[in-house]
Amino acid sequence: MSWIDTGVVAFKTVILLLGSAITYIAYKAYRQTGDAAMRLLAIGFGVVTLGALLAGIAHQLVSVSLEAGVLINSGLVATGFAVIVYSLYLERE
């Protein structure tokens, strides 16, 4: 494992931990308030976090190329951010 692979694994782990914490806090806020925007916010951050997890698993365990892993990550991050933007838009209405 090269130093780049080690760095990617380390950063993906940090992203997974922080993203999971944000997702949990947003979900907890949704459970307390019942606000649909908070539910969507939790889903959006969950999708972003899932992107980091799946890309890391695909690259490290399934031997998918780094480029394909980046593509998986980018697609899920873009989808998650779209959900987050929509949740923030709902909050303004």
Whole-model pTM: value is 0.86
Question: Of 9, 8, 84, 77, nearest to 43 (Cα)?
Answer: 84
| Count of structural domains within the chain | 1
Tokens representing 1? 């494992």
For the beta carbon of residue 14, count every other beta carbon within 10 angstroms: 11
Per residue in 3-61, pLDDT (tens digit) is 887 888 898 899 999 999 999 999 999 999 999 999 999 999 999 999 988 888 887 88
Side chain identity at residue 9, one-letter code: V
Cβ-based neighbours of 11, under 8 Å, separated by 6 or more:
none
Per residue in 51-87, pLDDT (tens digit) is 988 888 887 888 888 888 889 889 999 999 999 999 9
- Domain assignment of residue 69, given as a range: 3-92
